[in-house]
């Protein structure tokens, strides 16, 4: 890549002209702004410290050196402290001819380095997935692909929270008010059925509380002594005691939920390499805690509970084991993290979890370090912000959640209505049309969510998310489909997509802008992997598609003016299509061959 060539030569120039070793961070290269002539700009202000002349003079000296010693440099100009370098046309042409057909352009080959474990989704089995889970799943899945493209060996894992008081609530409500209802008998998706009983429990529980409060108790007291919650707790104890009937019901109801989740994951287009169940891992951390007590880094109180004092790190005391010996969230995360470390010896352990758990992960790392686990530093919490609705925050208890299945269906319906209105599907058969609605609808949803910086809270406006114009997934998909259409047409007419580096007499500004944008892609992938941010890819994909649209409208691609410039533009189009497809693949978004 030209940036590396320039960096090396600039280092050399600084050494020779000023006798100074240039630190790489001093060499700031950036794309030249469109209003100036040139392709790549070197900011020379940092050099003036040792050049001891004006920025302009420094830039000129370096520019002269590059021009004389680097074949790729065609020309340069200096504006203030900016050295604008024009890269020779030959470089761009050979870059194009060498890569335009490369399916995997921008992706690195799998390295033999240590694996990266990425955990995402992590649902509870008492209710269906909602919009918050969608953001989680999309981020996790997209990041796994970005890391893969960056040459990492990635293992995608899901940790299903299948035990605890929440599922007991659904079980109890189903036993009491369910009348043997099943997904088959009700026609409800399994996760929705179980979710329905979770809601019923909550409603009945609230009524009981209200009644107890009416008899003179405080709300807190009432919440603790309501018969329903006591029964649910008893059910949990029976579960922990391996009571056969309880376990059996638990298996049946969780089975329904898994069937439901599998469908949602499939529709959303995400998957895992491995699924862990908390019911099988929740005891794992206890031994570690015991080990910590032995080592004296954790302390056991007289009631039997185990704590760690983190006041030295500026945090408070943290519970690691309950007085009754049962494990808490932290206990089990210590266990699963250690298990994964032992199993894979990973380079990095990534957790895609909401930002409300930032403190938890901070503590997790410190607690592991106290145990002597130096690898705790390899834990990375991909903390993402909440998804808010125009009405405010989503609250499952108040019914203001956006259900994942409903939302996707709505996207499909909208894309169908839109496609029909625009007359897009006249030549499509039913199967193809249906696939198109799904591709477009999902593309809109995924792009809408992934284009926002993960760490920020985001507003989900249903009306805007189904918009298919402007900075949206469908716009990018459309650009791809249109390029494919052009290429099909060209093949029909018999145009060749082959050219040599001397085939184009000149490189028009629109062509060059597009080529430069494509040229950036590998660096963008590397950056997204390093910063763990799919948003970088999403925003790049939009810029690339916009650039192509300008190119497409400014130039006539299939017009018999000059065969070699035809070939050039077709090659550029094909290259763009490949890169768009690759960028969208990183986001988990499919591309339609026509739309």
Partner RNA sequence: GGCCUCGUAGCUCAGUGGAUAGAGCAGCAGCCUUCUAAGCUGCGGGUCAUAGGUUCGAAUCCUAUCGGGGUCACCA
Q: Which of residues 134-173 bind RNA (CB under 7 A)?
A: 161, 164-165
Using CA of residue 184, residue 189, residue 194, residue 195, what is the dihedral sign? negative
Q: Which is nearer to RNA, 205 or 552 (CB)?
A: 552
364 within 8 A of 337, measured Cβ to Cβ: yes
Q: Which residues, 167 to 226, sit near RNA by CB under 7 A?
A: none
DSSP conformation class of 32? P
Which pair of structure tokens corresponds to residue 66?
Answer: 């590059």
Q: Which is nearer to RNA, 153 or 471 (CB)?
A: 471
Residue 437 burial (CB < 10 Å; 0-12/13-18/19+)? buried
Shortest separation between residue 534's beta carbon and RNA, angstroms: 11
Cα separation, 193 vs 352, in Å, equals 27
Q: Which is nearer to RNA, 242 or 553 (CB)?
A: 553
Among 43, 247, 389, 508, binds RNA (CB under 7 A): 43
Residues 6+ apart with CB under 8 A from 436: 415, 419, 424, 425, 428, 592, 595
Q: Which residues, 527 to 546, sit near RNA by CB under 7 A?
A: 535-536, 539, 542, 546
**Does residue 52 bind RNA (CB under 7 A)?**
no
Cα separation, 462 vs 476, in Å, equals 20
Which pair of structure tokens corresponds to residue 311?
Answer: 């006041």
327 within 8 A of 283, measured Cβ to Cβ: yes
Distance set, CA 568 to CA 1, 113, 356, 447 (Å): 21, 39, 52, 31
Q: Which residues, 81 to 100, sit near RNA by CB under 7 A?
A: 81-82, 84
Residue range at the interface with RNA (CB under 7 A); choices 29-37, 112-120, 241-249, 398-406: 29-37
Q: Which is nearer to RNA, 155 or 236 (CB)?
A: 236
Residue range at the interface with RNA (CB under 7 A); choices 27-35, 215-223, 264-272, 365-373: 27-35
Residue 582 burial (CB < 10 Å; 0-12/13-18/19+)? buried
Among 33, 52, 274, 397, binds RNA (CB under 7 A): 33
Among 99, 136, 142, 472, binds RNA (CB under 7 A): 472
Shortest separation between residue 256's beta carbon and RNA, angstroms: 20
**Does residue 438 bind RNA (CB under 7 A)?**
no
Cα separation, 594 vs 482, in Å, equals 7
**Does residue 462 bind RNA (CB under 7 A)?**
no
**Does residue 447 bind RNA (CB under 7 A)?**
no
**Does residue 504 bind RNA (CB under 7 A)?**
no
Among 474, 522, 534, 571, binds RNA (CB under 7 A): 474
**Does residue 446 bind RNA (CB under 7 A)?**
no
Q: Which is nearer to RNA, 147 or 524 (CB)?
A: 524
**Does residue 458 bind RNA (CB under 7 A)?**
yes
Chain centroid, CA 119 distance in Å: 12
Closest by Cα among 254, 234, 285 to 123: 254
Closest by Cα among 494, 510, 501 to 576: 510
Q: Which is nearer to RNA, 296 or 314 (CB)?
A: 314
Q: Which is nearer to RNA, 13 or 419 (CB)?
A: 419
**Does residue 30 bind RNA (CB under 7 A)?**
yes
Q: Which residues, 243 to 282, sit near RNA by CB under 7 A?
A: 278
Q: Which is nearer to RNA, 82 or 174 (CB)?
A: 82
User: Which SS3 state, helix, strand or coil, does residue 300 take?
Assistant: strand
Shortest separation between residue 508's beta carbon and RNA, angstroms: 15
Shortest separation between residue 391's beta carbon and RNA, angstroms: 12
Q: Which residues, 100 to 129, sit near RNA by CB under 7 A?
A: 124
278 within 8 A of 332, measured Cβ to Cβ: yes
Q: Which residues, 321 to 340, sit near RNA by CB under 7 A?
A: 322-324, 328-329, 332
Residues of 23-59 as b/e, b for ≥16 C-beta within 10 angstroms? Answer: eeebbebeebeeeeebbbbbbbebbbeebeeebbebb
**Does residue 436 bind RNA (CB under 7 A)?**
yes
**Does residue 395 bind RNA (CB under 7 A)?**
no
Shortest separation between residue 45's beta carbon and RNA, angstroms: 3
Shortest separation between residue 59's beta carbon and RNA, angstroms: 10
334 within 8 A of 367, measured Cβ to Cβ: yes
User: Which SS3 state, helix, strand or coil, does residue 73 take?
Assistant: strand
125 within 8 A of 195, measured Cβ to Cβ: no
Residue range at the interface with RNA (CB under 7 A); choices 136-144, 167-175, 258-266, 472-480: 472-480
# chain residues binding RNA, by CB under 7 A: 87
Cα separation, 527 vs 549, in Å, equals 25
**Does residue 485 bind RNA (CB under 7 A)?**
yes
**Does residue 478 bind RNA (CB under 7 A)?**
yes
**Does residue 359 bind RNA (CB under 7 A)?**
yes
Shortest separation between residue 234's beta carbon and RNA, angstroms: 15
**Does residue 79 bind RNA (CB under 7 A)?**
yes
Q: Which is nearer to RNA, 360 or 370 (CB)?
A: 360
Among 90, 271, 273, 316, binds RNA (CB under 7 A): 316
291-294 contacts: CB < 8 A, separation 24 or more? 291/371, 292/320, 292/370, 292/371
Using CA of residue 417, residue 419, residue 425, residue 429, what is the dihedral sign? negative
The strand pairing partners of 314, in sequence order, are none
Q: Which is nearer to RNA, 11 or 471 (CB)?
A: 471
Closest by Cα among 48, 90, 41 to 63: 41
**Does residue 28 bind RNA (CB under 7 A)?**
yes
**Does residue 481 bind RNA (CB under 7 A)?**
yes
Cα dihedral value 47, 51, 57, 58, nearest 10:
-30
**Does residue 433 bind RNA (CB under 7 A)?**
no
Q: Which is nearer to RNA, 72 or 513 (CB)?
A: 513
């Amino acid at each position: 890549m030209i940036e590396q060539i320039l960096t090396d030569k600039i280092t050399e120039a600084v050494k020779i002209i000023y006798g100074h070793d240039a630190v790489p961070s001093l060499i700031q290269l950036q794309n030249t702004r469109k209003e100036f002539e040139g392709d790549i700009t070197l900011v020379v202000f940092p050099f003036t410290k040792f050049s001891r002349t004006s920025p302009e003079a420094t830039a000129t000296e370096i520019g002269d050196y590059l021009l004389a010693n680097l074949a790729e440099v065609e020309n340069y100009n200096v504006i203030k402290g900016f050295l604008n370098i024009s890269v020779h046309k030959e470089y761009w042409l050979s870059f194009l001819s060498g890569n335009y057909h490369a399916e995997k352009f921008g992706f690195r080959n799998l390295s033999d380095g240590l694996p990266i474990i990425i955990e995402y989704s992590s649902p509870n089995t008492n209710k269906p997935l909602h919009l918050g889970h969608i953001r989680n799943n999309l981020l996790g899945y997209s990041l796994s692909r970005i890391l893969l493209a960056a040459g990492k060996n990635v293992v995608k894992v899901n940790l299903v929270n299948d035990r605890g008081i929440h599922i007991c609530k659904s079980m109890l409500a189903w036993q009491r008010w369910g009348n043997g209802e099943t997904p088959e008998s009700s026609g409800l998706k399994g996760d929705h059925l179980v979710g329905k009983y979770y809601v019923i429990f909550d409603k009945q529980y609230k009524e009981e509380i209200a009644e107890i409060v009416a008899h003179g108790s405080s709300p807190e007291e009432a919440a603790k002594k309501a018969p329903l919650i006591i029964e649910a707790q008893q059910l949990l104890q029976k579960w922990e005691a391996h009571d056969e009937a309880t376990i059996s019901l638990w298996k049946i109801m969780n089975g329904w939920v898994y069937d439901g989740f599998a469908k949602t994951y499939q529709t959303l287009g995400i998957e895992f390499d491995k699924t862990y169940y908390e019911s099988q891992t929740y005891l794992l951390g206890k031994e570690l805690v015991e080990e910590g007590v032995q080592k004296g880094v954790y302390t056991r109180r007289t009631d039997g509970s185990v704590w760690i004092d983190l006041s030295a790190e500026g945090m408070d005391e943290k519970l690691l084991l309950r007085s009754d010996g049962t494990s808490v969230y932290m206990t089990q995360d210590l266990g699963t993290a250690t298990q994964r470390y032992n199993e894979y010896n990973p380079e990095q352990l990534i957790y895609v979890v909401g930002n409300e758990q930032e403190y938890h992960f901070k503590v997790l790392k410190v607690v592991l370090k106290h145990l002597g686990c130096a690898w705790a530093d390899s834990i990375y919490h991909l903390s993402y912000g909440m998804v808010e609705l125009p009405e405010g925050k989503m609250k499952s208890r108040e019914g203001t959640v956006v259900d994942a299945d409903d939302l996707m269906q709505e996207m499909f319906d909208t894309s169908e209505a839109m496609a029909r209105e625009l007359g897009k599907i006249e030549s499509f058969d039913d199967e193809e049309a249906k696939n198109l609605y799904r591709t477009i609808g999902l593309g809109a949803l995924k792009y809408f969510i992934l284009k926002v910086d993960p760490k920020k809270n985001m507003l989900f406006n249903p009306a805007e998310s189904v918009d298919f114009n402007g900075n949206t997934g469908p716009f990018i998909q459309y650009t791809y489909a249109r390029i494919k259409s052009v290429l099909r047409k060209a093949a029909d007419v018999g145009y060749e997509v082959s050219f040599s580096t001397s085939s184009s007499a000149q490189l028009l500004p629109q062509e060059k802008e597009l080529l430069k944008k494509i040229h950036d892609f590998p660096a963008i992938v590397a950056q997204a992997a390093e910063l763990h941010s799919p948003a970088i890819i999403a925003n790049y994909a939009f810029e690339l598609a916009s650039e192509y649209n300008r190119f497409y409208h400014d130039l006539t691609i299939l017009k018999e003016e000059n065969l070699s410039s035809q070939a050039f533009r077709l090659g550029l189009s094909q290259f763009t299509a490949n890169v768009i497809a690759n960028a969208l693949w990183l986001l988990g978004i499919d591309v339609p061959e026509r739309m």
